[in-house]
Structure 1
Amino acid sequence: MQTLYPEIKPYARHELAVQAPHVLYVDESGTPDGLPVVFIHGGPGAGCDGASRRYFDPNQYRIITFDQRGCGRSTPHASLENNTTWDLVADLELIRQHLGIEKWVLFGGSWGSTLSLAYAQTHPERVHALILRGIFLCRPQEIKWFYQEGASRMFPDYWQDYIAPIPPEERDDLVSAFYKRLSGSDQIAQMHAAKAWSTWEGRTATLRPNTQVVERFSEPQRALSIARVECHYFMNNAFLEPNQLVRDMHKIAHLPGIIVHGRYDVICPLDNAWELHQAWPNSELQIIRDAGHAAAEPGITDALVRAAEQIARRLLNLAPEEA
């Protein structure tokens, strides 16, 4: 099985001021004249880390990682102001222009797949190819499945901890109930809700229990940005029209894509990836038989690293032994 490439340090870092009050953290790794790829992280609100750049051969790729509005090293932290899907699409285009990139590969997982599709459908002429993992189409039925009823039946023990901050009389609309607390002025209630929301996601992200994933999701600062920003987006149907991403696949049907999805993904069930693949004739769907949602699962990691190698070979016209 393929594993992540060895750790590398960025060769350039940028603080890019976008719409006030946001300043984005952006870094570049790998080869400055390599094939440009942008890592589009999940959440929304999760941020990047040192592993984000390690899916790509640093001798072949110019690797761009950045923290979206309100999370990671971007400021202000956990801010909901001027924070929508279309703001993030505009940010991606600004980053591309700032770095002097004509076209790039999009690499996104979970919410990162949502944002990758939204960006590609808006700027298809700027995209070489897409590598997407854990497809999330951000439709009301998907949000209801994970945050209201569905996944709850598979993890009733974890579910009890998730709903604990919400009084029984408010549990018929959990996203709204969490939003009231996450956007309120009571900081203790806010953090209690944030940790419950984010820990639920971390606990259910992997097929086999993974304490490192759970700890990463439940770390207080990360939990706050994940919970606040996600809940803000889900209250607004991710600022998308009904079924918009599938509806508009004709705009990017010509672009090559590789879809990687765990068979036992509970956060974003496999039918999302299947439906996207049916609407995208130029895509390849890889169903990982022993994985859930997280990129850190061995089968998912293996498939993503191989996908990046495959795209590099295709776009750089390399023989397999050169990639």
Structure 2
Amino acid sequence: MSSSIPSPSPSPVPASVEDDLPFPPIEPFDAGWLDVGDGHRIYYEQCGTLDGPAALFLHGGPGSGCSPRHRRLLNPAWRIVLFDQRGCGRSTPAGECLANTTADLVADIERLRAHLGGLRWLVFGGSWGSSLALAYCAQHREACLGAILRGIFLTGNDDIDWFFNGAGQLLPDHWAALAVPAPSAHRSELATWYFDTVRGDDNDEAVEAVRHWMDWEEALSRPGLPPALAGRTSRETAAGQLAKYRLQAHYLRHECFIGRARALDFARALRGLPTAILHGRLDLVCRPSNAWAVHQALPDSRLLLVDGAGHSPFDAPMTRALVAAGDHFLAHGTFAGWPNEDRA
């Protein structure tokens, strides 16, 4: 294990949000970078209890990264392993799209598992992390104790079209702001325009596109509430945002190298593996029908549609439900009886 703990990247969160999280702040007992080849090094950290059962946290995006508050979604009795995927967060090189596919990420998880001593772990993934969890668990089932999947993203073109177009029926004013930067001739293919522009050579235009993309994402993530607009940022912050969204555009253009049909095939391959599916009923980023589709493909899974929750794991009803699912598995090694038993 590493002898020095690198400082986490800043993740500004309002104090009221932090104070509502179920477990107190926790620091890693181990952290470092793992060389995974192709010029990539992934940042990882471990926190919680060294000799506890292991849980692997998979962040969303694609392109995002882990933050200190993600450590607090699981009981510290777990041995919690988090890592920033290729090109994300503290992993290097930042925003690199070469040698960066879902197959590469699945292989990286296995490299990390071997580096940590060949753990078996509960796989905990939300949004894009749920897609990656499906891919990983299906291909390395022997490594998995079970899975918690939140805010299901099935990676297909219909999900991507929903995000850039269909959801505009629900938030037409915000969608109009999303469409403003695109020439009128490109508004029928808004996703393609954003992917091309964010990854284009005109840096100023790319940064402006990222700002509108972030504002739209924020509006969808806060149903019924006024979104906090991204606004202007420092050059350094803008560069980090651009790296993130360039990587996200790379993945989305390729249906995250999975696609809907294959994602559901992965779900079918999980039959018999304890699996909990949680999805906010108010989720406008990823539709609740995605969770239903995975549950139908994996009928022995346990499904909870969370009232009052949108896409964020930090919506209070979702946070409570995630903690209950993790604690139930910690106590029983299965999701049988959850969530009804926890509500009794």
Length-normalised TM-score, structure 1: 0.91
2:169 paired residue among 153, 161, 175: 153
Which of 33, 57, 63 is residue 39 of structure 1 equivalent to?
A: 57
The letter for the 1-side match of 2:158 is Q
Could you tell me which amino acid in structure 2 is paired with residue 195 of structure 1?
R
**Does 1:288 pair with 2:306?**
yes
Match of residue 212, structure 2, among 190, 196, 204: 196
Distance 1:31 1:196 in 2: 41
The question of whether the paired residues in 1 share the 8 Å contact of 2:214 and 2:230 is answered with no
Secondary structure of residue in 2 paired with 1:248 = helix
Ranges in structure 1 where 5+ consecutive residues have no aligned partner: none
Q: Which amino acid letter does the alignment assign opposite residue 170 of structure 2?
A: M
Is 1:28 aligned to 2:68, yes or no? no
Q: Aligned to 2:222, which of 190, 206, 229? A: 206
- Contact 2:211 2:230 (C-alpha < 8 Å) held by counterparts: no
Higher relative contact order, chain-length normalized (CA < 8 Å, sep 6+): 1
**What does residue 250 of structure 2 align with?**
232
Q: CA deviation at 1:222?
A: 5.2
After alignment, is 120-129 or 232-241 more displaced?
232-241
Q: Report the counterpart of residue 337 of structure 2 in structure 1.
A: none
- Matched residues in 2 for 1:181 and 1:261: separation? 31
Partner of 2:159: 142
Residue 215 of structure 1 deviates from its aligned partner by 5.5
Paired-residue identity, %: 38
Any idea what the Cα deviations from partners look like across 1:154-181, whole Å, max 9, x if unmatched?
1111112222221111222222211221
Equivalent position amino acid for 1:4 in 2: P
Is residue 128 of structure 2 the alignment partner of residue 111 of structure 1? yes
Q: Does the C-alpha gap of structure 1 residues 6 and 206 become closer, same or farther in structure 2, counting only changes over 3 Å?
A: same
CA contact (8 A) 2:54 2:79 kept: yes
Question: Aligned pair in 2 of structure 1 residues 5, 211: CA closer, same or farther (>3 Å)?
Answer: farther
Aligned equivalent of 1:70, options 60, 71, 87? 87
2:101 is aligned, of 79, 84, 98, to 84
In 2, the alpha carbon distance for the partners of 1:304 and 1:49 equals: 17
Give the gaps of 5 or more residues in structure 2: 1-19, 335-340
The DSSP-based 3-state class of the residue aligned with 2:31 is strand
In the other structure, the counterpart of 1:309 is 327
* CA gap 1:39/1:221 in 2 versus in 1, 3 angstroms: farther
Query: Residues 177, 285 of structure 1: CA spacing in aligned structure 2 closer, same or farther, 3 A cutoff?
Result: same
Aligned residue-pair number: 313
Inter-partner Cα distance in structure 1 for 2:267 and 2:208: 39
Go from structure 1 to structure 2 and tell me whether the alpha carbon gap of 1:288 and 1:102 turns closer, same or farther (over 3 Å shift).
same
1:225–1:306 distance in 2 versus 1, CA, 3 Å: farther
Structure-1 residue corresponding to 2:15 = none
Q: Distance in 2 between matches of 1:225 and 1:203?
A: 21
* Cα pair 1:46 1:225 within 8 Å, conserved: no
State the shift of 1:144 in Å: 0.8
Give CA-to-partner distance per residue, 1:216-269, whole Å, 9 cap, x none: 9x9635532442122111111211255112123332111011111111111111
One of 146, 165, 180 as aligned partner of 1:164: 180
1: CA distance between counterparts of 2:265 and 2:33? 35
Post-superposition offset of 1:57: 1.6
